Each structure stands twice: as structure tokens, then as C-alpha cells.
């Protein structure tokens, strides 16, 4: 048997890093306090404290007997200046985990595997209850120092050299883990041994330890490659030895996360004939079909009193505006700001004085208000539908939706839900308006299939938020389907199976169950960091669009905010927000994030957004026009107050700034110059500056841009659109505008390479970051941060934790060599 080689290591500990009589409210407070002591002692940079907090999320550092040993993640060791420890004494204690109270917090900073020797030294003290009690109560820091640094020379520790009689069952095994029998595998070993009645002993060299005691096992100091002998005494000793031998053979890692739910399930392929549409909202629905019919409103064309009709129209518009305000708030609270903004846009559309005036002029001499209003609305809708820009053309449905809302008030009609059934159904419709969709109850409407529409329509957005599986653009054939027959709707594959076989139904129900189990598991583990199997950490943050969403994002498992869309402050109003209003919103978010990062994207709007106070001219192609940073540079009265608010927020929280629609170095430098002028004037600290990579020129000149910014954030939605010259809102091209196209992946790879050469990092805040398979590819390409919708975060984290970095890197390299998006998806 190999004999353990003894190594000597003196733990660095002095009185200035021992805090007596401390009080803390929470475990995290305790970790941060001991971390500050390590900073004070010159052992770590301040950033390592966050790593210690993150480590606690990934693993339990409670050793037992009132002792915890918080330390950082292996990948953050560059933040350690010199190896050492610090101690916070908590006479009153703090709850570390349920049922675990800590009185001594020993913070560890180890530049390599020195922490193993630190633990070895510490364990000669930590398993002595009387000594621990003395250290918890002492008012002399030197006593703590002497006990924690004298290591094996401690007279209070006796080396066990004899084995009690009766241990006649034994097995010899080799410890193969890289760090030996250290804290994680020792914890797992002790826990497994404790599950048996038999007494368990472990012998390493001349030392013998209690196999059910973590402290005793750590004291052995077993290194990688060393053999140990496991001995048992008792009736189930043989079973215990076999279980422990198998556990060592398969790897002892108590901190290894539980198996992550597999969300990357194979596609649902059924034998029955399918109606093919466009996938708009994921999930599988199994229910009878039910047809939705738009409510038909009848009205007279003429009326005798034009003044009364005009007044009726004004009252109806006012009532509809009130409804939209309430609906926006309701949807925003239930689904989020981006969804609520749909009805803020409806409000802005309806508040347009030109729209009202146009309808009023059609009333004299004898037209009814309803007729005049309907004529005006339909003319507006048709003019939008005729536009070559498909996204704007698709907004004709929003205009008609607003029109119907006012018309109901004019006619005194109560809005109905089209007499929806009280039992669960899959809803079939020619088209659903945003108002129709927002009113749906996911408990009754299990799926949606429409004849028209696109995946970026407001209806599709709302369906995804409501978690109702949806297929759009399925064609007129769906309108001829019989009501009542049980069907299967696959929102992932974009298929409706109107007449499934019994075997299809069984397969679909099984897939439903698998998806539910996977989603539940991901949700439970959402607060764990996205650590790959080999310890590579990926920062997973949230895309949000309003101040209240920051707290909700953290609850969803986000580690910060990677994209704050500031447009919510500017849209749906008659005048721009003041600097004070913007600062107040940012301040609310920094407080909710409590030190986690917040990336603020400056205003990103253009001619496709309704902003009355800007009076933006109509553009034939607003996506290639004055938008994003171009608009801000042209509108300093809009841009400067926002920059001032951001700089002020950065002085009180961890705030970064990001400029959108950067296509030229000139635009970036102009934006940076204005930011710096504002910062100098306010005398606020420097702020990290990033830029969106969403146009081809930014990719091709990434090396030059990397010299000018601190980070890149790739918007895969717009990058795909601009790179493939396919409008992502186009009803027939949208499916081909795939962010997994090799051209897009190669553009991302090129951007990452340029950033890494300059020592900068790359994040992704587009839709691909919220898609688990896409997220894996992005990490394999070298992306360091993924920013997704809060609802996507648990699944993305779960997917990353199931894999290793080399595994994702190999997948990414294979994807880069593909020729089509279909080939990439087939991987």
C-alpha cells in the first residue's frame, strides 16, 4: 500500500484577518464579511468575494461542528494574490443551511491545491468539540491563530494508529480523483457510509479514520492515485463495502449537481397526416378542436345628428383608451413589459389625433360615427397591409383590433370571448388579434392554430408568454376541420395532427410528460450557477424591459441583466422622459439587483415605432434607416439626459452601458465622446462601454471595434436578419431566417475571435441565447455571457450543466463546417 507523503504548509493568518464577536443576518453576509477580511489581508482581489458567493450556490461549504469554509470557484484563482485564510467568529451563530448553524467562518484563498493542506491542518482542530467551543467564545484572536496554524503539531490531536477488533471485512481501492479524498468526495463517502448500520473505517498508510466522519476522513489527507483500505464491522458490512467500492469507481463528488433534466428531447414524429404551419410557441397540446369566430358588429350607415355622433365617437375613443391603459398594466404585471408594450402601442395608435380627426371629418352631413370610424380604420389597415415591409404590414391586425375596441363602445356591445367552451380545447381561427389572445385562459385554451399570421406577430408573442403552444400560417385548410375531434398540436415542430391514431396520442402524451418533468427539474435548480461538468462557468443573465422586471428576473435564476431595453421609458407617451424619471427607474433596478450587473442599452427605436413627440419621418425601410445610435446622435436633447441618468446610476450600482445599431467606428466614437463629456461633467466613475453586434460591418470590423469597447453583445435576431437579408417578420421568409444558419454562427465565431485577441468578452442577447441547443453552441464558440428572457433561463442553465466545455466546443466546430441550418439542427 502506498504511504502518504507528508507536506508542510504554514497557513497565513494574522490578527488583522480575525474578526471577533461579529454578527450577521445571513450566510451571504457572513461570506462577504470574511471575504472583506481576505481583501484587507492582501490575499484576494475584491472580485473573488463574488466567486465565494457563487461557490456557495454550487456547493455546501459547511463542514459540521459549527464550522464553514467558504472559498471561491477554481476558475477565479487569478483573483487570489497570495494563499491565506481569514476567520469570522460568530458567537450568536448564523443559519448556513436548514438545521446547520455556523459559529466560525474560515474563508480560504488558495492559489492552487494548497487548500488541501489547509484543510488537513484545520481538521486536527475542527473535530474537537471542546476546542471549537473555546474558539467560538474566546476574546483573544491569538488563540484562534495558534490553533488554526499549528496543524499536526497540535497536542490536542492524537493520530489513530490502532484498529479496534472485529473489522474482518475489507477491500482495497485506489482514489483516482484529481484532488484526492478532499472535501467533496469525502462528504459523499461519509454520507454513503452512514446509510449502513455497519461500522466503517478507512486506513491510509498508518492512519485510520472513521468512515462516517467527514473530519476524520479529511485528516487522512489522501491524495490522487493513493490506495486506501476500507474496513467494515457489522451485519451489512459486505453490502457497505460493495457500495463504497462502486461509488469510488464511478467518482465521489458530493457537490456534483443532481442529474439535470433533459430538455433537448428528440422531435415529435407521428405517423398521422399533419397540417404544416410555422412554429410560433413551443409545447404540445392534446385536446378537441374548437373554431373561433370573430364577433360581427352591425351598425347603421347614417345618423341625423352629426354633432351627437362626433361626441359619441370622442367618448368611445376615450373609453377605449382607458381600457387599453388598464389592459397594458394587467398584461405587464402578468406577462412582462414587452408584452404590455403591445397594448401601449395600441394606446399610442388610438391617441393619434390625425386618426380621430380623419374619422370626424367623415361624419357630416349624415353619417353615423360607427360608419365613419370603420371607414377610417379599414383605410389605415389596408395602407399598412400594402407596405413592402412585412413586419409593418403585419401590424394591420393591430389597427383593426383597436378599431373593433372603439366600435364596441359606439354600439354598446359587451366584449365577449367568442363563447369559448368551459372544457380544454385547441383553438382554430383565421386570425387572432392581440386582444383576443391576451384574454385567453391557458387552462382552457391548450393550443392555438391560425390560418394566417407569422411567428413574430403580437399574437405569437403573447401565446409564448402565456405558454400556450401555437402554430400559425397553417393555411385555409384548418378552417374546414371538424369541431370536436381530438387533435395533437406540436408547437415546436409547427404541425397540427387533426386525426391522430391511438399510437400517436400515446406517444404525444408521453412526450408531454417528459417535457413537464424536464421543465420542473430545471425550475427547481434555477438558482444554481451554469457550471459545466468540467467547472467552466457561463454567466446567464436576463433581457428585461422595465424596472419591476429586474427582481422577477433574479427570481427566475438570472445572475444579472444583460440587456435592459430602455424603450419602455420613451414609448406610449406624449413627451420624452426626464433625466430624473430615467434615473429613478435605473436606481430601482440597481437596488433590486443588489450588486449584480445591469447592462443598459441606450434608446433603440426608429421609424417603425410610434413616438409622437419625435415626429419621425416615414421611411420606406426603417430597419435600414435612422434608428438606434443614429437617431440618438441626431437627437442630443433625447440622448444627453439618458446618458446623464445612466452615469448617475453607475455611481450607485454595477451598471454598464451598451450602444445599439453600431455600424461604423465614427458612430461608436461619437457616442463614446458624448458619454465621456457627460461623465466628466457629472464627475462620476468610469463606466464599462459595450456595443451591439447586429450588422455585418460590425462583424467584419470586430478587431477594430474591440479596441474601442470593453465588451460585445451580439443580437442574433437582427444579425440574422441583416446577414441573410431576410426580414424576420416576413410570413414566408421568417422560418428561413434561422440564427443557426452557418453564416450566422461563423459571424459569431469571427466576433469572438476578434474580441479574445483584444482581451474582451462577448455576450449574446438575441433569441439564440434563450434556446438550450443554441446556447450550447454559443458557449462552444466562446461566448461568455448569455442574456435571455427570464422564462428561458432555467432551461438554458440546465442544458449547460449537463455538458462539458470540450463537448460544446466540439459541437460548435462541427456546426461551423455545416452548409445549412438544417445540418446544424441535425447535430
Most confident option among 70-79, 132-141, 479-488, 747-756:
747-756
Closest to 815 (Cα-Cα) out of 774, 787, 784, 785: 774
Residue 347 annotated as catalytic: no
CA dist 205 → 32, 159, 210, 351, 805 (Å): 39, 12, 14, 84, 37
H-state helical runs in 59-149: 114-126, 129-137, 141-149
Closest to 596 (Cα-Cα) out of 334, 787, 332: 787
Q: Between these two residues, 64 and 259, which has the higher pLDDT value?
A: 64
Q: Which of 103, 115, 182, 730 is catalytic?
A: 182
Over the stretch 298-351, which tens digit does the pLDDT of each residue have? Answer: 888 999 999 999 999 999 998 888 888 878 777 766 666 556 767 877 777 787
User: Residue 541 pLDDT more than 90?
Assistant: yes
Given a contact cutoff of 8 angstroms between Cβ atoms, the answer to whether 113 and 147 are in contact is no
Mean pLDDT confidence for 800-816:
90
Report the alpha-carbon distance of residue 65 to residue 213 in Å, rounded. Answer: 11
Most confident option among 282-296, 317-331, 514-528:
282-296
Given a contact cutoff of 8 angstroms between Cβ atoms, the answer to whether 345 and 394 are in contact is no
Residue 765 annotated as catalytic: yes
Over the stretch 42-52, which tens digit does the pLDDT of each residue have? Answer: 889 988 998 88
All three cell numbers of 350, joined, read 388610438
Given a contact cutoff of 8 angstroms between Cβ atoms, the answer to whether 798 and 776 are in contact is no
- Number of H-type helices and E-type strands within the chain: 30, 26
Residue 182 annotated as catalytic: yes
Residue 71 annotated as catalytic: yes
Contacts 24+ apart (CB under 8 A), 818-824: 818/742, 819/742, 820/741, 820/742, 821/736, 821/738, 821/740, 821/741, 821/742, 823/742, 824/740, 824/741, 824/742, 824/745, 824/777
Q: Which of 449, 632, 647, 765 is catalytic?
A: 765
Report the alpha-carbon distance of residue 592 to residue 287 in Å, rounded. Answer: 41
Report the alpha-carbon distance of residue 497 to residue 486 in Å, rounded. Answer: 9
Please state the φ and ψ torsions of residue 229, each to the nearest 5 degrees.
-115, 125
Q: Give me the percent of the chain exceeding a pLDDT of 90.
A: 36
Contacts of 108 (CB under 8 A, 6+ apart): 69, 70, 71, 85, 115, 118
What pLDDT was estimated at residue 698? 96
What pLDDT was estimated at residue 13? 74
What pLDDT was estimated at residue 733? 61
Q: Which of 71, 115, 536, 730 is catalytic?
A: 71
User: Residue 729 pLDDT more than 80?
Assistant: no
> Which range (48-57, 182-191, 418-427, 494-503) has the least confidence?
182-191
Most confident option among 202-206, 459-463, 725-729, 782-786:
782-786
Answering whether pTM is above 0.85, one says no
Q: Which of 103, 124, 458, 536 is catalytic?
A: 458
User: Residue 114 pLDDT more than 60?
Assistant: no
Q: Is 270 helix (H, G, I), strand (E, B) or coil?
A: coil
What pLDDT was estimated at residue 121? 57
> Which range (252-256, 676-680, 731-735) has the least confidence?
252-256
Over the stretch 367-397, which tens digit does the pLDDT of each residue have? Answer: 999 999 999 888 877 766 665 545 445 667 7
H-state helical runs in 150-303: 183-193, 214-220, 237-250
What pLDDT was estimated at residue 153? 38
What pLDDT was estimated at residue 678? 96
Report the alpha-carbon distance of residue 741 to residue 728 in Å, rounded. Answer: 13
What pLDDT was estimated at residue 373? 93
Amino acid at each position: 500500500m502506498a504511504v502518504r507523503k507528508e507536506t508542510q504548509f504554514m497557513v497565513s493568518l494574522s490578527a488583522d484577518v480575525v474578526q471577533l464577536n461579529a454578527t450577521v443576518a445571513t450566510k451571504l453576509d457572513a461570506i462577504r464579511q470574511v471575504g472583506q477580511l481576505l481583501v484587507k489581508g492582501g490575499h484576494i482581489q475584491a472580485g473573488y468575494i463574488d466567486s465565494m458567493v457563487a461557490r456557495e450556490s454550487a456547493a455546501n461549504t459547511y463542514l459540521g461542528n459549527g464550522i464553514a469554509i467558504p472559498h471561491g470557484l477554481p476558475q477565479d484563482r487569478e483573483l487570489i494574490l497570495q494563499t491565506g485564510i481569514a476567520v469570522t467568529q460568530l458567537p450568536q451563530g448564523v443559519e448556513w443551511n436548514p438545521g446547520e448553524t455556523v459559529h466560525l467562518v474560515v474563508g480560504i484563498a488558495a492559489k492552487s491545491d494548497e487548500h488541501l493542506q489547509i484543510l488537513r491542518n484545520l481538521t486536527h482542530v475542527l473535530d474537537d468539540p471542546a476546542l471549537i467551543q473555546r474558539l467560538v467564545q474566546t476574546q483573544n484572536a491569538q488563540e484562534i491563530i495558534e490553533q488554526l496554524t499549528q496543524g499536526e503539531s497540535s497536542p490536542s490531536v492524537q493520530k489513530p494508529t490502532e484498529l479496534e477488533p472485529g473489522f474482518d471485512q475489507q477491500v482495497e481501492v485506489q482514489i483516482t480523483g484529481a484532488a484526492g479524498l478532499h472535501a467533496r468526495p469525502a462528504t459523499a463517502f461519509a454520507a454513503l457510509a452512514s446509510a449502513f448500520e455497519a461500522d466503517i473505517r478507512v486506513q491510509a498508510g498508518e492512519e485510520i479514520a472513521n468512515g462516517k466522519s467527514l473530519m476524520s476522513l479529511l485528516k487522512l489527507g489522501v491524495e490522487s492515485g493513493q490506495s486506501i483500505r476500507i474496513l467494515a464491522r457489522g451485519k451489512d458490512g459486505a453490502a457497505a463495502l460493495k457500495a463504497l467500492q462502486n461509488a469510488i469507481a464511478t467518482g465521489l463528488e458530493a457537490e456534483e449537481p443532481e442529474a439535470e433534466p433533459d430538455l433537448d428531447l428528440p422531435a415529435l414524429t407521428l405517423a398521422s397526416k399533419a397540417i404544416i404551419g410555422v412554429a410560433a410557441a413551443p409545447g404540445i397540446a392534446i385536446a378537441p378542436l374548437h373554431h373561433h369566430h370573430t364577433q360581427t358588429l352591425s351598425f347603421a350607415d347614417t345618423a341625423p345628428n352629426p354633432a351627437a355622433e362626433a361626441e359619441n365617437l370622442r367618448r368611445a375613443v376615450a373609453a377605449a383608451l382607458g381600457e387599453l391603459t388598464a389592459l397594458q398594466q394587467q398584461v405587464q404585471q402578468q406577462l412582462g413589459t414587452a408584452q404590455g408594450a403591445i397594448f401601449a402601442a395600441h394606446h399610442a395608435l388610438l391617441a393619434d389625433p390625425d386618426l380621430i380627426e380623419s374619422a370626424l371629418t367623415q361624419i357630416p352631413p349624415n353619417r353615423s360615427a360607427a360608419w365613419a370610424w370603420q371607414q377610417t380604420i379599414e383605410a389605415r389597415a389596408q395602407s399598412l397591409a400594402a407596405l413592402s415591409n412585412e413586419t409593418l404590414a403585419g401590424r394591420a391586425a393591430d389597427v383593426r383590433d383597436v378599431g373593433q375596441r372603439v366600435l364596441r363602445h359606439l354600439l354598446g356591445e359587451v366584449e365577449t370571448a367568442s363563447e369559448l367552451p368551459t372544457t380544454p380545447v385547441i383553438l382554430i381561427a383565421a386570425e387572432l388579434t392581440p386582444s383576443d389572445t391576451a384574454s385567453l385562459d391557458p387552462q382552457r385554451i391548450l393550443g392555438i392554430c391560425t390560418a394566417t399570421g407569422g411567428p413574430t406577430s403580437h399574437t405569437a408573442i403573447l401565446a409564448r408568454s402565456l405558454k400556450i403552444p401555437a402554430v400559425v400560417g397553417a393555411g385555409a385548410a384548418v378552417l374546414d376541420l371538424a369541431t370536436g375531434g381530438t387533435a395533437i398540436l406540436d408547437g415546436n415542430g409547427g404541425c397540427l395532427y387533426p386525426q391522430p391514431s391511438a399510437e400517436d396520442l400515446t406517444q404525444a402524451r408521453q412526450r408531454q410528460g417528459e417535457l413537464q418533468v424536464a421543465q420542473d427539474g430545471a425550475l427547481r435548480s434555477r438558482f444554481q450557477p451554469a457550471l459545466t461538468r468540467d467547472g467552466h462557468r457561463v454567466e446567464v443573465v436576463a433581457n428585461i424591459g422595465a424596472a419591476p422586471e429586474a427582481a422577477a428576473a433574479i427570481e427566475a435564476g438570472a445572475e444579472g441583466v444583460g440587456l435592459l431595453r430602455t424603450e419602455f421609458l420613451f414609448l406610449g407617451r406624449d413627451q420624452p422622459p426626464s433625466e430624473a424619471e430615467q434615473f429613478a427607474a435605473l436606481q430601482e433596478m440597481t437596488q433590486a439587483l443588489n450588486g449584480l450587473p445591469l447592462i443598459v442599452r441606450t434608446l433603440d427605436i426608429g421609424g417603425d415605432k410610434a413616438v409622437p413627440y419625435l415626429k419621425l419621418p416615414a421611411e420606406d425601410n426603417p430597419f435600414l434607416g435612422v434608428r438606434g445610435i443614429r437617431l440618438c446622435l441626431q437627437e442630443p436633447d433625447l440622448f444627453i439626459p439618458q446618458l446623464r441618468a445612466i452615469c448617475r446610476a453607475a455611481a450607485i450600482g454595477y451598471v454598464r452601458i451598451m450602444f445599439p445599431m453600431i455600424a461604423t467606428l465614427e458612430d461608436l466614437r461619437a457616442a463614446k465622446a458624448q458619454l465621456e463629456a457627460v461623465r466628466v461633467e457629472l464627475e462620476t466613475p468610469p463606466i464599462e462601454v459595450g456595443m451591439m453586434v447586429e450588422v455585418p460591418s460590425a462583424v467584419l470590423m470586430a478587431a477594430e471595434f474591440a479596441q474601442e469597447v470593453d465588451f460585445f453583445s451580439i443580437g442574433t435576431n437582427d444579425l440574422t436578419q441583416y446577414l441573410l437579408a431576410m426580414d424576420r417578420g416576413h410570413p414566408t421568409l421568417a422560418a428561413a431566417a434561422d440564427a443557426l444558419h452557418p453564416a450566422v454562427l461563423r459571424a459569431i465565431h469571427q466576433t469572438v475571435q476578434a474580441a479574445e485577441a483584444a482581451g474582451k468578452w462577448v455576450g449574446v442577447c438575441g433569441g439564440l441565447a434563450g434556446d438550450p441547443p443554441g446556447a450550447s453552441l454559443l458557449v462552444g464558440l466562446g461566448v461568455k455571457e448569455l442574456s435571455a428572457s427570464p422564462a428561458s433561463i432555467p432551461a438554458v442553465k440546465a442544458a449547460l450543466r449537463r455538458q462539458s466545455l470540450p463537448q460544446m466546443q466540439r459541437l460548435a466546430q462541427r456546426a461551423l463546417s455545416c452548409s445549412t441550418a438544417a445540418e446544424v439542427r441535425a447535430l
